[in-house]
A and B are shown apart, each in its own frame.
Chain A
């Protein structure tokens, strides 16, 4: 089955800096890669996703890049703010079918004011 590795497990940055979280996946059939933000005690919320037919997607301060050949994808957050502090999960799945995502282990992002 699919295996998703996520790094780093903890990321500490100063407000205004950029943050990058990286994930790799093993199943070349995976074609849908969502990113979730989970605040303490709350549900994961989808913040951005990318499908395998594009290499990059951007939404304001958040961007995701995908390298299908290398089987890795990354989340980029620019101009970080304290409210960005949360746990971020990447996931990989085969979209359009049974859609069962495999999650990475999560990255705890801490943005210091």
Chain B
């Protein structure tokens, strides 16, 4: 099946810094990618839909200035958590669609 990669897999940062997470579709082009956040023992919460060449569509309650999304090409979307705080600590997962939805391996963000 199609492969979606995500980098980094883990990141620990200090409060107030910004963190960039990359999501790549390795063997297919994805005009749309999705960013999810997952808390321990909870479901996937859709944060935003990343559209190649246009602005991302954010879900209600998700701060677009806090979570910056850039879909620079058909194979790359980035999520930047700006001025990160401990409450931003979570598991962030991206996905891309090619006949079905393929998930990246996730990024564990820990903000100290």
A residues bordering B, Cβ < 8 Å? 34, 36, 41-46, 49, 87, 89, 98-106, 108
Q: Which residues of B contact A36 (CB under 8 A)?
A: 103
Are B103 and A103 in contact, CB atoms less than 8 angstroms apart? no
Interface string of B94-110 (1 = CB under 8 A from A): 00010011111110100
Are A106 and B101 in contact, CB atoms less than 8 angstroms apart? no
Q: A34-B101, A42-B105, A49-B100 are in contact. Are A100 and B46 (CB under 8 A)?
A: yes
Summed over the interface, the residue pairs from A and B with CB atoms below 8 Å come to a total of: 43
Q: Which residues of A contact B108 (CB under 8 A)?
A: 41
CA distance A98 to B34 in the complex (A): 11
B residues bordering A, Cβ < 8 Å? 32, 34, 41-44, 46, 49, 91, 93, 97, 100-106, 108
Most central of B44, B46, B102 by chain A CB within 10 Å = B44
Q: How far is the CB of A88 from chain B (nearest CB, A)?
A: 11
Are A43 and B49 in contact, CB atoms less than 8 angstroms apart? no
Q: Which residues of A contact B32 (CB under 8 A)?
A: 98-99
Are A106 and B49 in contact, CB atoms less than 8 angstroms apart? no
The closest CB in chain A to the CB of B104 belongs to: A43
Q: How far is the CB of A43 from chain B (nearest CB, A)?
A: 4
- What are 18 A-B interface contacts by the 8 Å CB criterion? A34-B101, A36-B103, A41-B91, A42-B105, A42-B106, A43-B93, A43-B103, A44-B93, A44-B103, A46-B101, A87-B41, A89-B44, A98-B32, A100-B34, A101-B101, A102-B46, A105-B43, A108-B41
The closest CB in chain A to the CB of B45 belongs to: A103
Q: Which residues of B contact A102 (CB under 8 A)?
A: 46
Most central of A36, A45, A99, A104 by chain B CB within 10 Å = A99
The closest CB in chain A to the CB of B108 belongs to: A41
Q: A99-B97, A99-B101, A100-B34 are in contact. Are A44 and B44 (CB under 8 A)?
A: yes
Q: Which residues of B contact A45 (CB under 8 A)?
A: 103
Q: Which residues of B contact A108 (CB under 8 A)?
A: 41
